[in-house]
Structure 1
Amino acid sequence: MQRFDPIRPFYDTEVNEAIHSAVNHPMMKALMSFTFPDVEEEVWKNQLKKTHSIRDFQCNFIYQSIQKVLEKSSEGLTTSGFEKLEPNTSYLFISNHRDIILDTSLLNVALFDHGLVMTASAIGDNLVKKSFIKTLSKLNRNFLVQRGLPPRELLESSKLMSEYIGQLLLRENRSVWIAQREGRTKDGNDATHSGVLKMLAMGSDEANLIDYFKKIKIVPVSISYEYDPTDALKMPQLIAEANDEIYIKEKNEDFITLLSGIIGQKKHIHIHVGDILDTELDKIAQEFDNNNKQVQALAQTIDDSILQSYKLWPTNYIAYDLLNKSNTYSNFYTENEKSLFERRLEMRIDENNPQMVESFLAMYANPVVNKSKYLNAN
């Protein structure tokens, strides 16, 4: 078990010591003052110091923090599909990925509210370089995805993570959240990368790939924000990629994005959990006998679930019409909603840069294009 030490969250036996080491950190004070504005510092400090498990930390502190985030920066979280899941059962949630912290935190709020097993969640080690953030992430049951390794080390790291995910799901009855691709989707096109599925399969001791995928109970998840609080921050990278330029992040860029995602305005948010993939996997096994083709077909199945159930907001339809200079979806939004969105575009994006305007609009419009393919097919 020690081999998981470089990537795993804290064990419950380590939680209290970790809290004591972090309780006086200015960022802990900022987090607790935000979460409990009417509570004296000594009171929340004493409560923290009495915490001895990740579950207690999540339920008594992080859950409350996320509720405060929703109250301050959104018009509410809605959910669908959770009634299909069984209590005391672990699932592998494969999700589209829009926000560094909130995607998985909001899923855990929904799981907790429905009396279901909360997740251990993958997070890139590039996001937890600051020691306090790393401690906080390990207290919140995050495990580390090691980034930027040379090929041989990357292979070893992927195998370790695969074994760890298998350990959580099959031996510890702990659900797991993982994004469908490395890094957040920045252009609104949600697509499952086959490399993620190949990584998951590395830790399998099953002779048959599909049998393993059935055993770990894959559940596709779609999460959508009416306003992406980090939309403007994603533009420089998108434009660099569009121009075939290498994008180099600014110092502290990830940290700024992380904070912006939490405090920025999101309006409405929706999470949908799809069906547990089972008969779909049988069908894939019948159609393909080659592992690579099975993985590609599974990636497509996950995409179909995520894109079909993705909740579209007025902002998506407005962006589509603005981008295409059309009124195709004008019955899906009001003039007031349109002016608010145009105002946001004006405030956040340099309108003298057509490429930037186009990228911004496409980010919101692409989910409409992707979902319409399924609506037209039915």
Structure 2
Amino acid sequence: MDLFNDIRPYTNEEATDAMLRLVQNKHFLNLLISKKLSINNSPLTYFYYYFSRLFVRYKLTKLLSNIESIEDFQEEISKRLQDTLDKTTDGYEFVGLDNLKANCSYLFLSNHRDIALDPALVNLGMRQAKRATVRIAIGDNLLSRQYAIDLIRINKSFIVKRSFENRRKKLEFLKRLSRYIQQSLTVDKSSVWIAQAEGRAKNGKDLTDTALLKMLSLAKAKGEQFSEFIQKLNVIPVAISYEYDPCIRQKVAEIHAKRIGLNYKKSKFEDLDSIVRGFLDYKGRVKVTFGHKISQNFDSVEDLAIEVDRQIHNNYCLFPSNIIAWALSNPDEQKVIDKLKKLWPRENWNHSEEKFLVHLQDFSDDLREIAVGIYAEPVTSRLMYK
């Protein structure tokens, strides 16, 4: 029996069956048509969806007929992602891929700003470096429908369960998850991507959750030192930087609701909407920086978390939007502001400031303050090391 059968990515054979299910899945086809999962009761809308589904099913069947493996599927995804990035960014780049050794698997511990685009960018970088794509950790809170499960498992993702009956069940699963990640890295020789903390850093603070590091260590052998076990995982911190956040409005709304004491509850399709916005809306410049393998011996999760944070904070690209936001929050720190602006000697700062203010123009004063704080936070984090 496969110990990881319910959480691991699909095999090629399973992926083929899953793609056939996707073609027949009405909810998935509706999603492709309108980015919604349901239709209203209007007869006109009903017929629109009915005939649109026939067309989309035909196009999808034709596309998938040329896909015979997970590798083929990911190649198609990569092409479409590059086309999308060309339209929705002012350029994207990958730095540090030369730090990766050939025929070596890594645990990429990344900051988390976008639900689906973060790991997609890491995979794109790996493909451009002619390396195998990674296995991706995805929370089951995003997998309310079968088509979502099929999509992510075709794309070499494994499932991280979030809800449990009791603490014993949770610990059992976390041990199994830890063993799966260890097996992926040391036996299957497949690199793994996982966010440094559960959920996106909506407030802009990229901080590693020590509970995550404790989970990783649950697979270590009895008597094995924490530092020795971590070395086997080949941990590399990754900093993913977006000049403009397509989901800034949703993040600000959630932070504001919590700040004034409201119980924020996501709308039914909020995560789906965030995924779509992340891919299709404007992002400005984008940079993905792969750090250095953590080679120091850390005896505690706290010390390891500090090193992961140090690399991510120092490798995060401080775009003009971040610098302008920090300047708005710290107008008396002109010397620091001038020094930060030297990071972009060719930047037209008047134009960039105007662009940033336009980006925030629809916010009320209290919401604008939150948005500015989110963009300023990476600068604050960087300055901690100076």
Question: What TM-score results when the alignment is normalised by the length of structure 2?
Answer: 0.86
Equivalent pair of 1:87/1:115 in contact (CA under 8 Å): no
Aligned to 1:21: 21
Superposed CA RMSD = 2.4
Secondary structure of 2:285's counterpart equals: strand
Cα distance change of structure 1 residues 32 and 164 upon mapping to structure 2, 3 Å threshold: farther
Counterpart selection for 1:367 from 368, 375, 378: 378
Equivalent pair of 2:24/2:57 in contact (CA under 8 Å): no
Deviation at 1:196, TM superposition (A): 0.4
Secondary structure of 1:192's counterpart equals: coil
Deviations 1:225-252 (A, max 9, x none): 0001111111122123334543222221
Corresponding position: 1:208 with 2:225: yes
Alpha-carbon distance in structure 2 between the residues aligned to 1:148 and 1:30:
26
Deviation at 1:51, TM superposition (A): 2.5
Deviation at 1:79, TM superposition (A): 1.1
Equivalent pair of 2:23/2:57 in contact (CA under 8 Å): no
Counterpart selection for 2:180 from 164, 173, 178: 164
One-letter code aligned to 1:119: V
Aligned to 2:48: none
Alpha-carbon distance in structure 2 between the residues aligned to 1:49 and 1:203:
40
Counterpart selection for 1:130 from 145, 153, 157: 145
Alpha-carbon distance in structure 1 between the residues aligned to 2:167 and 2:355:
47
Alpha-carbon distance in structure 2 between the residues aligned to 1:229 and 1:255:
13
Equivalent pair of 1:31/1:65 in contact (CA under 8 Å): no
Corresponding position: 1:12 with 2:12: yes
Deviation at 1:44, TM superposition (A): 5.8
Bigger shift: residues 306-315 or 251-260: 251-260
Alpha-carbon distance in structure 2 between the residues aligned to 1:138 and 1:100:
16
Alignment map for 1:341-360 (pairs within 5 Å)? 341-347=356-362, 349-351=363-365, 354=366, 356-360=367-371
Bigger shift: residues 93-102 or 74-83: 74-83
Aligned to 2:270: 253
One-letter code aligned to 1:14: E
Secondary structure of 2:286's counterpart equals: strand
Deviations 1:76-129 (A, max 9, x none): 211111001022221000000000000000100000110122110011111121
Cα distance change of structure 1 residues 237 and 152 upon mapping to structure 2, 3 Å threshold: farther
Alignment map for 1:83-94 (pairs within 5 Å)? 83-94=98-109
Alpha-carbon distance in structure 2 between the residues aligned to 1:89 and 1:125:
29
Deviation at 1:29, TM superposition (A): 8.8
One-letter code aligned to 1:78: E
Secondary structure of 1:184's counterpart equals: coil
Deviations 1:306-360 (A, max 9, x none): 111111100001111122345552645511111111011013x223xx2x22211
Cα distance change of structure 1 residues 245 and 225 upon mapping to structure 2, 3 Å threshold: same
Alpha-carbon distance in structure 2 between the residues aligned to 1:366 and 1:47:
43
Secondary structure of 1:121's counterpart equals: strand
Alpha-carbon distance in structure 1 between the residues aligned to 2:72 and 2:358:
42
One-letter code aligned to 2:233: I
Stretches of structure 1 that go unaligned for 5 or more consecutive residues are 35-39, 286-293
Equivalent pair of 1:220/1:275 in contact (CA under 8 Å): yes
Secondary structure of 1:246's counterpart equals: coil
What is the aligned length? 355
Bigger shift: residues 45-54 or 153-162: 45-54
Aligned to 2:3: 3
Aligned to 2:337: 329
Deviation at 1:25, TM superposition (A): 4.7
Secondary structure of 1:23's counterpart equals: helix
Corresponding position: 1:295 with 2:301: yes
Aligned to 2:91: 76
Alpha-carbon distance in structure 2 between the residues aligned to 1:253 and 1:78:
29
